[in-house]
Amino acid sequence: MTKMKKLLALLLALVMVFALAACSSGSTEDTAEETSSEEFTTATEGVLTMATNAEFPPYEYYENDAVTGIDAEIAAAIAEKLGLELVIEDMAFDSIVAAVTSGKADMGMAGMTITEERLESVDFSEPYATGVQVVIVAEDSAITNVDDLFEGGYTIGVQSSTTGDLYATWDLEDTGLCTVERFNRGADAVAALTSGKIDCVIIDNEPAKAFAEANEGLVILDTAYTEEEYAICFSKDNTALSEAVNEALVELMEDGTVQSIIDKYISAD
Ligand code: ARG
């Protein structure tokens, strides 16, 4: 009898412990959801404004009059999760960080590489894709690998303020080896290459593939310049929003949505 009572008491205690655990974990989940869906504010109520530079296929580019691509689709999925309408603002690549820090845009998403310098002015989400800086040259170019650039004497085209610009400037221009020409659009740099005005273009691998396919006589060097990670940037002053967006992004990575969007645009080869 007493044994039975002890057992009952023990069982009851166990039940209470589980009930408490369930209850407290339930309530933390509730508050977490509340913080992410209620406390953040956006530039325009009910709208998630994304700053981008739609010159960067397959991440962002125009199809008819609409901006489409990997970033546009991931952003749409994030907006849907947060119950917001996505509005995409197309601007020069080097205006994106300012649009975000001034609060005009809620986030910058533009195949943007996480860099030390950018981290001084903006926060970044978890990385969602990898980029590789590659070199595009004319088929008959004297440049056959990245090391050739360090022989010097070449004119290198880049999209202004991109990491391709930064590396070319630091490694090849500041050292007096080469000259760097900065273009507003990657496509303009490629056009200058096609017409023989410059010797190569340093740009991210996926747009490089698209540009090389669209223009006769261009090849991408097998040796890559450097590898990097793309992430969404935010103002450092709106952490409730950046946390909510990041949480949505992580969920979309975990459930495979991000990968399936990437696979839609990039064939594994
Ligand atoms: N990944 C490079 C960077 O962050 C280039 C990005 C260019 N993106 C664009 N949408 N034009 O600098």
User: How would residue 38 be classed by pLDDT, with cut points 50, 70 and 90?
Assistant: low
Task: Say what the pLDDT of residue 39 is.
Answer: 83
Q: Is the CB of 160 under 6 A from ligand 1?
A: no
Closest CA to 49 of 83, 97, 89, 76: 89
| d(CA 105, ligand 1 centre) in Å | 17
Q: Is the CB of 108 under 6 A from ligand 1?
A: no
Which residues are registered as beta bridge partners of 50? 88, 107
| d(CA 124, ligand 1 centre) in Å | 14
| d(CA 182, ligand 1 centre) in Å | 13
- How far is the C-alpha of 135 from the C-alpha of 156, rounded, in Å? 9
Other Cβ atoms less than 10 A from the Cβ of 100: the count is 28
* Cβ–Cβ < 8 Å for 221, 135: yes
Pick the range with the lowest mean pLDDT from 26-30, 179-183, 184-188. 26-30
Q: Is the CB of 110 under 6 A from ligand 1?
A: yes
Closest CA to 84 of 33, 134, 127, 41: 41
Q: Whose CA is nearest to atom 12 of ligand 1?
A: 162
Residue 6 clears pLDDT 50, i.e. is over it: no
- Average pLDDT value for the chain: 89
Q: Is the CB of 165 under 6 A from ligand 1?
A: no
Convert the pLDDT of each residue in 191-220 to its tens digit.
Answer: 999 999 999 999 999 999 999 999 999 999
Closest CA to 61 of 166, 165, 214: 214
Q: Is the CB of 207 under 6 A from ligand 1?
A: no
pTM: 0.85
- How far is the C-alpha of 263 from the C-alpha of 70, rounded, in Å? 9
Ligand 1 atom at shortest distance from the alpha carbon of 165 = 12
Task: Say what the pLDDT of residue 41 is.
Answer: 95
